[in-house]
Amino acid sequence: QVSKISHILHCAAAVSFSQPLEDAATSNITSSLNVQSLAKQLDAKFTYLSTAFVHGDRTGTKSRPLPEAVFSLKPYDPVKLYESMLGSQSYASAAMNDLGFPNTYTFSKCVCEHLLEMERDVETTIIRPSIVGPSVEEPYEGWAGERPSTIVAAACLYLKFPYNMWCFGHKPVPFVPVDVVCRVIISKSFGSDLMSEADVASYFRGQEEEKKEQSPIDTGYRDSTRKSPAISTVAWDSSSPERSTFSWVQYAFAITHLGSVCGHVDRTVAYAGLLLSTKLFPWLGLSLATFRQLHAILVRTPVDKVLEICKRLRLRSAFVRDLDALSPVLDLPMLFFPFANRSFYFQSQIRAPDDFNGERYMFSCAVAAHRFIERIENQRKRSKHGRLEDGSSHPQRNCRNASIYVAGKCHAMPASDLWWALTQPTGSLTIRFGAWVLSKIFRRTAREIGVDVASYAVLARTLASTDAASVILAPTHRSFYDFLITSYISFALPELGAGIPHIAAASDFQHVPIIGILAAWSNAFFLRRDGKGRDTTLQQDLSRIISRSSPAFIEVFIEGKRSRSRAFLKPKTGFLRCLCENIEGSHLVLPSTINYEGLVDQMTLVEETSRVAKRGMGLFRLSQWLRAVILNKVDIGRVYISASPPIIVGAGTLDVRGLGNAIQERQRSRTLVSEYHVEAASSVLGVPSHVIRESMQDLGMIPWPPRGATEPLLAIPSCQNVAWTTFFHFAHIYAPYLAQTHQTWSEWLCPSSSKPKKSESSSVNVVVSILTQHLEAADNEVVTVLKYLAANGFDSPTESHVFQYLSDVKSPAMLLLLALKTKMVNRAGTIPLRNMPRLEDPHLFRRQKVLKNNVPLENFAAWGFQDSYFVLNESSDGAKIVTMKGSRYDISGKQLPNLARFVEEELRITIDLMKAPKTCCDFVSVRRDTFDEGLATGILAVLGNDKDRFSTRAVDRARHGTGHTQQDIFDLRFGNIRSRVPDAVVWPKSILEVEALVSFAVEESLCLIPFGGGTNVTHATHCPPREVDPRPMVSIDMKLMNGILWVNEEDGLVHVEAGITGGELIRRVEKLGFTIGHIPDSYEFSTLGGWIATKASGMKQNKYGNIEDIVKDVTVVGSKGILSTSHRISKTTAGRSSAGLEPKSLALGSEGCFGIITSAVLKISPIPEVKSYQSVLLPSFGVGVEYMRALSKMTMKPASVRLLDNDQFRLGQALKERPSLFGTLREWLAHAISSAGGNFSLNTVVCVTISFEGSAAEVNLQQRLVRDFATVYEGMLAGPSVGKAGYDLTFAIAYLRDFALNYDIIGESFETFVPWSCIKRLVAATKDRVQSEHRHRALPGEPFICSRITQLYDEGVCVYFYFCMQIKGVSNPSVVFSEIEHIAREEILSNGGSLSHHHGLGKVRSSFVSQIYSQAYIDTLTAIKNSIDERNVFGAANGIFGSKMYSSSISEHTNVSGKGPKNA
């Protein structure tokens, strides 16, 4: 076997610079001569590894570098020098000092070269490496072996003992990568046997072709008559580019920065030492001798004394052990001194490639030192705990030795994070502050954040070789942590070459209070991602950024938005298209993958998967999350960032989609999988973890690098949805094996996957098979729901509609989402409109004229004034902004950025701005009857032939035959009025005309229906069906009878005509210095006569009473004449009388069935001295009810007290305008304080709004009691402004219902009186009944139902319910809604509520009359009606008088058992 040896490579040596001459001769010379002698015996070629520093005190110059030749030892003889080193040493010592050798190692190497060349019979090759450092490419960048090399050892000592003395000058470091040395050794030793010149040239990119061997240069270094060994210096040639090296000062800074980031050194000590090592000592110009003396005094002697004392005291602490281990190498700074303060220039056949980045390599050396130190620390932990962290058994590829950990629990020391942030080389003050905060947050939320440093190597090289205008950092997007982590890495590790980027954030981030401002200060700019065309500002932003720096670093998420499932999303191309088409120059795109074990917002993402509307980020949500962070409730495990080779993009690139796919393909290639991912996948698939691990290895998946920490594995998620999303982190590797049979599934898992594949791996086939079974099960459940919806009339449901009814099935939401994508065709349903003929009036929907009085125009087919209405617009950032037009209300003109999002979240819908229906239809289905001319002539005669006060126009008939129920508005909007409308409309202006009209109706057999403001929500103004009452119907509009007849200030009375609206009455009475105190929500449009006819109630009834308390006398025109009370003294009335039934008793609640109310005497009160407001927050609705009950027992109650349940309170919050910065901080502080109290939660808190009126003493007493009760019930005062805003919103909020109908949302309010003992049960049962009925009918979205307590009584309260739902795709939506409302009313009655508190019965509730009144009472009241109105002139058939007529029609549509008919 020995005879086959052809080459001997001698690389062994004692690399100890402080060895005695004798030991150096034995180790480095004798051994080498012996090995050369062995080579001679074997006739083998001999390669000797020397050092490049064999030239004594010579360093060379750029023009005359140190040659590849034996250094002349003249006048000293090499043989005698060798003998002297082994003997007396005086001769050798003198030569060493005379020739300027800094240590025995270099001196012994030089002597050895001379002795080796004397042997002429052995073909000898001498390789002279300079200071050897970690590899640059092979086996991977940063590899440094098992022990630190010289340059790495210096960094290790620098990090482990920062109190040592160093002197680092600005001279370049004469380094050479170890893989370069190895290549040269092989190349020079074996020549073309193993490597071709092409191979070498390929490795040394940019290297010139190897020159032919030339004759040695005669420089006086050697004897030219003797045949010398081939000598090759392995160092960068002096002609190499300047950027291919780095200075010792730079190296010192890099080590210090890295040590600070990784927590190896205290930053204060490290930076103080850096100041001395790189500034003070070089400035002093110390010689080696002086430096040695200082080092002995300041370092060596103190350390030796400390160790001596510790040994005597037998102290063996960790610090002492470390110091004892470091003692032998403490003199290393003196050995580096000659190299660190002089420049060396070498002649070499190796020229550094033009694209070689010296600073990049410098950082690699520092990283190698960090890894050695980390290995030592992990070994200590292993010896202490007996094991390392999970994952250490995996084969770890290259990533293990290329990792730097920059943040997390396992990193750094918290004491000096601020100092670190302030001393980083780059970053504005905002960025530095943000980095400091992030370092704290990362430490509390992540166990470690690691960076694959080697993966960033190509970036620096590519940047050096291209003139790129920008570098696009393109990380994956799974969490809002993504852009924080990417920027943090660029800041913490500037040596990576990735500058701090300008972040392309979503535009909705811009408007998050405070955060948006901080993001802008931190180099963020904002993209519009709404899918509605190109962002016109993007080109301007990119041009501005790129013009300011070259290259500009920009961070953008190619996927566009966070992946809710953690699977890859289809790449967006808008940003890339703008970059390629509009920005000149070339660009580098650096794909990177941010691998998470857990996610900060994992549960939020899972929740949002089943929601249509995404929850927005707000200051309060952020504060809640930060609170959880502070309490250590957030643990995402490990995070690892790895980059892919950059992609060069030139201007004018056409295949933008292909570019996006290429970016994503590289992102997928850097996906790492930890044991956490494997165990989570195992739990959801039901497959052993070893099978999953084997399948990953078979598919080339990269395992997560082990950290070596002792913390346990992150807990496997118990939530199946979270576990599935964890599996989806790497499930894309199985996508190609699903493509052939389940193409859609494959594309969902991997949007840009490759062609279908078949696997020969049994483990891969097992995983794919089990995955397919789960997906098919979810697919079957989706099909079942689709069939269920089809059976309920929804043939083309929306995706959100289907997903809503998948919530109760067994499969996790994430799988159902995937299955839904494969089965759904998303075709939005629409409300069917019938083709109705146009009416004769070409201006059908012309707004009403002003009749004689200057009354503001009222809306038609919608609530309110024409100049006041809500509009929905899209802001520049794509947000949906609601604004109320006009100036009537406090909310008018203010932008409401949260309302649309609130509606979308609560109803689980998406408001489509492009598909909103019209606010009204241009035709309406009203029967075109011809009113008898004789009747018209007779009526006009009564009116004095004033044709403006008589109308048979369709628009007037339609308005007077409807009110403001949802059915009325829906019918008017969509052109099909289902109820009968009057045949004519009349506007009388005096009681005499009313009497005459009634007499005419009696004679001509007409039916008269009184009409006030038309605000009823009971169908009270609907005409009875023609088959029930075929007579002509005439609506008597009382609005022209709006005068004040007399005022008696002394008695506190006012006599007013019944047609006056509440708004006008209040204004005119207040001018006299009084108030009536009656303010219903509809007061702007409802009339006095309507209040009396419906027995109305106002919000201030606590102080002023209801309408029955305010009205003292009433005048009614009946079919037999005027019904009134006679008084002998004019302009007054009896306050109270025990004289039997009064006309007032008949009028109150009569709903137009006894006659026409023409006037009334009202009680008036002086305008109160003080008006003020207050609001109270309480923990829950139950507590709120108890608080209201306590207030109801007050002798003097506040004028109004209202309790908003949590849903209505949150709706009120959504109606707030975007606050100022100060307002945002104030709201955030209020939220924080209330939450910190422990009893308050945003999901349960309720609000009480209170209005005070009265004398100062009264109000002060009431306010004190309100505060006292708030304390008793653990409430918190929210302030007068909140209370006032609540009341101001009362009148504006009424516009919302009809505004929502524009976007396929139908709604209604209904009220009831509830005894105290029944409130909580009734409210809960009613809400539950509405929700269950909604679900039973398989309706889309979720219903929104909230409640409000509005009036207090000793016995109970008035409760308002507000109910709305989505109707897109619902057939006959108005009917469906009415049926659910009817069922809700049944639930109210069965739980102790009344049929109505103040709206009246009309025809909507008349079917319930038999449930609340005895038949005897119904018969008695009917008899009274027949006696008063024998010919039924007032045949509106409301309440009791319509109960028989409408009970059957209602029951046809509603199953009283609660099971509604199928939606057909």
SS3 sequence of 1318-1377 = HHHHHHHHHHHHHHHHHHHCCCCCCCEEEEEEEEECCCEEEEEEEEEEECCCCCCHHHHH
Half-sphere exposure of 371 (CA within 13 A, CB side): 28
The 10 Å Cβ neighbour count of residue 456 is 27
For 131, residues 6+ apart whose C-beta sits below 8 A from its C-beta are: 149, 150, 151, 173, 174, 175, 176, 339
628: which 2 tokens?
Answer: 């959880």
Cα separation, 1010 vs 1013, in Å, equals: 10
Annotated catalytic residue: which of 1360, 1362, 1417, 1446? Answer: 1360
Q: Which ranges of 824-921 would DSSP assign to H, the alpha helix?
A: 899-907
Separation of CA 772 from chain center: 32
The 10 Å Cβ neighbour count of residue 284 is 12
Cα separation, 338 vs 101, in Å, equals: 10
CA distance readout (Å), 493 to 250, 256, 460:
14, 12, 13
Residue 1204: beta bridge partners? 1247, 1348
Burial class (CB in 10 A: 0-12, 13-18, 19+), 568: buried
Question: Is the separation of the CB atoms in 121 and 296 below 8 Å?
Answer: no
Q: Buried (b) or exposed (e) across 1333-1344, using 16+ Cβ within 10 A?
A: bbeebbbbbbbb
CA distance readout (Å), 91 to 21, 87, 96, 450:
11, 9, 9, 55
Residue 552: beta bridge partners? 470
Question: Is the separation of the CB atoms in 1043 and 1028 below 8 Å?
Answer: no
> What is residue 900's three-state secondary structure?
helix
For 814, residues 6+ apart whose C-beta sits below 8 A from its C-beta are: 565, 606, 609, 721, 724, 725, 728
Question: Is the separation of the CB atoms in 1212 and 1265 below 8 Å?
Answer: no
DSSP 1019-1030: -TTSBPPTTT--
Phi/psi-derived region of residue 1036, left when phi > 0, alpha when psi is between -120 and 50, beta in every other case:
beta
The 10 Å Cβ neighbour count of residue 1232 is 16
Identify which of 1118, 995, 999, 1116 has the alpha carbon closest to the alpha carbon of residue 1425: 1118
With tokens 């020739």, the residue in question is 99
105 is catalytic: no
Radius of gyration, CA atoms only, the chain: 45
Residue 1356: beta bridge partners? 1315
Question: Is the separation of the CB atoms in 749 and 732 below 8 Å?
Answer: yes
CA distance readout (Å), 1110 to 443, 1097, 1148, 1167, 1352:
68, 10, 12, 15, 17
The 10 Å Cβ neighbour count of residue 710 is 15
Could you give the strand order of the β-sheet that contains 230-234, starting from the edge strand earlier in sequence?
Answer: 7-10, 45-49, 124-129, 230-234
Could you give the strand order of the β-sheet that contains 895-896, starting from the edge strand earlier in sequence?
Answer: 870-874, 880-884, 895-896
> Which are the catalytic amino acids?
1360
